[in-house]
Homo-oligomer: A and B are copies of this chain.
Amino acid sequence: MRVLVLGGDGYLGWPTALHLSDKGHEVAVLDNFARRGYDAELGVESLVPIESLADRIAAWHEVSGRVISSYEGDLLDAEFLFEAVRDFAPDTIVHYAEQRSAPYSMIDREHAVYTQHNNVIGNLNLLYAIAEIDPSIHLVKLGTMGEYGTPNVDIEEGWLDLEHNGRRDRVLFPKRPGSFYHLTKVHDSHNIEFTCRAWGLRATDLNQGVVYGQRTPQTALDPRLSTRFDYDAVFGTVLNRFVIQAVLGQPLTVYGKGAQTRGLIDIRDTVECIRLAVENPAEAGEFRVFNQMTESMSVAAIADLVADRFPGPVQIEQLENPRSEAPEHYYNVKHTGLVGLGLEPHLLSDTLIESMFDIVGANKHRVNPDKLRPTVRWRGALKS
């Protein structure tokens, strides 16, 4: 199949492009390099050095003999986007090209506006590009488990069979997102569902858990194929950050008591989930939702796991939670859709964490420890 990966220079977009290319698909990536720009803005760098997109693509050709083509530009530039979609003529578009950090979206008004504008309008342009150029294109869209929040009921996969006052309907599962970033994914889901219903588009919305890990079978083939690895408090996800803190001899920073529970997924499973969604497209008119996670764990349990596996001493420090989230809550998520398509999950009880210690150890001289602690507070917009 011909697959266009939007955001294909990013943490997950790049390994996804490699995985799909490795499996024989014709792959192109599209990126505006905004993610590299956030690094410059925040004064941080990926823990693992990463090559330019051109050098990555050249290395992949050298290693695999396969060609990945590329488009450089912004989804907000509709003319560019339409031209790229026309030129590559994809069967599937995988859409990672959004600002993906909750703390970044909560820095201040400008960052909230940037995030909502960039994500919602970029996705809206994409829906029009698909509708006007080729409505049979399957959209595979990255969402987040954070769309749901932490309801006191079981979380279904996107849709809910609702019974109310003796009548029934199938409705979108109610959402309770926890940041302006998470809200953009809720807005996107609603916009996409409408175009499936009104225009007959086909889409798979992947509500992804917190991703951990840095290596996939393809990125491990050559150091030039590495994907980024974020350790800072703005873009670093919780498990990755804990591993880095352990190796650096810094305390693992747990927000609050750490009883908040999140869905997790190994980066190797992420790229495989995308392949499964791409190769098993939604029907025309179908808004299909999968919860792209393989297990749930509390933040405190993740910290304990890292402390237990790390060969040296590890301190755990509870910080006042900078976010606005339920400190303790019910969390029971259905995530059988992707397993039904063939996913064989890598669980945290596997050996992965130990391999992460090695990656971090080899690059720990690149860390700025000041960037590990949270500076963005959800209540920051309120005058005191």
Contact = CB atoms under 8 A, between A and B. Distances in A.
Contacts of A133: 383
A215 B338 CA distance: 57
Given A168-B152, A174-B171, A190 B191 contact: no
CB-CB nearest 9 A-B residue pairs: A171-B174, A198-B324, A152-B169, A109-B128, A153-B164, A131-B381, A187-B187, A153-B167, A151-B169
A190 B183 CA distance: 7
Contacts of A198: 178, 324, 378-379
A133 B197 CA distance: 41
A61 interface: no
Interface residues of A, number: 56
Contacts of A200: 382
Contacts of A113: 78, 121, 124-125
A165 interface: yes
Given A172-B174, A190-B183, A198-B324, A382 B132 contact: yes
A80 interface: no
A200 B180 CA distance: 15
A193 B383 CA distance: 19
Interface string A41-72: 00000000000000000000000000000000
A194 B182 CA distance: 10
A120 interface: yes
Given A78-B109, A135-B382, A180-B194, 16 more contacts: A109-B132, A112-B128, A113-B125, A116-B120, A117-B117, A117-B121, A131-B382, A151-B171, A152-B168, A153-B162, A153-B163, A153-B165, A154-B164, A162-B174, A172-B175, A187-B190
A177 interface: yes
A178 B153 contact: no
A330 B381 CA distance: 43
A160 interface: yes
A198 B326 CA distance: 11
Interface in A115-154: 116-117, 120-121, 124-125, 128, 131-135, 151-154
B162 A324 contact: no
Interface in A172-210: 172-180, 183, 186-187, 190-191, 193-194, 197-200
Contact of A194 (B132, B167, B178): B178
Contacts of A197: 176, 324
What is the total number of copies of this protein in its complex? 2
13 contacts: A109-B132, A112-B124, A113-B124, A116-B191, A128-B381, A151-B169, A152-B168, A153-B163, A160-B164, A177-B194, A183-B194, A187-B187, A199-B382
Nearest to A129: B109
Given A190-B187, A379-B199, A382-B200, A165 B174 contact: no
A187 B171 CA distance: 17
A152 B164 CA distance: 9
A137 to B, nearest CB: 12
B120 A187 contact: yes
